Structure 1
């Protein structure tokens, strides 16, 4: 029998799971919640990590307390080392909120390329699925932007057709510097679609300029959608004014 059995909570993992209601308690005395976080941080069971992560699913007042507690959870989970990888990755997969915290924790546990692989895998898994909240997709897309991984471009490309403008914008930002040829026509089609929001069209112009793609086959559409600071040169390339 372990020490936690004597403390009136069953085995260590069982005690960790029983603390979930206190960790996610938004109202009442905050010391109850903070004590539960401290207890979980001192455990060494994967179940404790899973419960600690639930703190990221609520926001409490005042916001300074909320931020302090979330930072404390970050430090506690870091202390679990690679034992936290499974619960954190599982949390990232199953939750629509707190994606940025999950990625930050993963970066503290393993080298950045491994986190990029996880993010790309997640984007591939979510592609084509309905998301009530687009925040998760946007955070994942922002995370892979500027990263070196050959899977990023083909994985991001389908998100140009997402219903959310925020997702389209994030996908365009990620694709622009990658110069991924299969993205040329989908980007041009965004410009040709008169129902697309103006800010998405402007972001598409930016992606074309970064990619260096010509506008052949879509010149009239591009000219009609042109907006400062971009212009179309004589070679059919989108340029940006200095």
Structure 2
């Protein structure tokens, strides 16, 4: 079965940037694109993909989707969903089994983090799936090579998504750096234990160069991750979303959410099973 990338679009700038990025990924992966636009049919709908809602009619939306699909150089399936975005995405995922769900991150610079409600965070709460978030400020859509994987040092598993992630890393020939952030420079950090937790997932298999380890000290783990990504020239950051992040404290206070909202480079969020 041909692999797929599922892209959410609302025809605004951030979604268009994500579509460009996904199109470049699709080529080397031999993947088709599933272009999904979700119409919000309820006047009480408070969800936002880009902070704006398209007011196109059903017919105009269908024409716009067709035009976008015709302009792409890779195979495309265009679909229009209805209702809540998370449910429409879950339905599309169940039918297409994509490698990733891809969406754009719009400009939230004028909105405090605690007031930001994004489609990405809602999807992670209700329908956890590997998700690539592309910031609207991204200036280049070249393929990612230098990948920073931020881990907390605990064992984790990504279950049925491990094969897809290995395929992505192997095909792109990424250089993978594993980052562990602690608030104390004197913290007892075992590089062997941290790297072993990653190796057990299979994420380091078949890479052109061995995984590298980096330890950083930061009172705020998210700031430590973002600083390390910038200092190391990473062009993709990978973060874990553990189940407790969804149901414990408010999700927008989690490290994953903070990195997702502020990273200048794309962020791949991997939901874990533990």
| TM-score strictly above 0.5 | no
Could you state the TM-score of these two structures normalised by the residue count of structure 1? 0.30
Q: Which structure has the higher relative contact order (CA within 8 Å, separation 6+)? A: 2
Of structures 1 and 2, the larger Rg is shown by 1
| The structure with more strand, counted as a fraction of residues | 2
Q: Which has the higher helix share?
A: 1
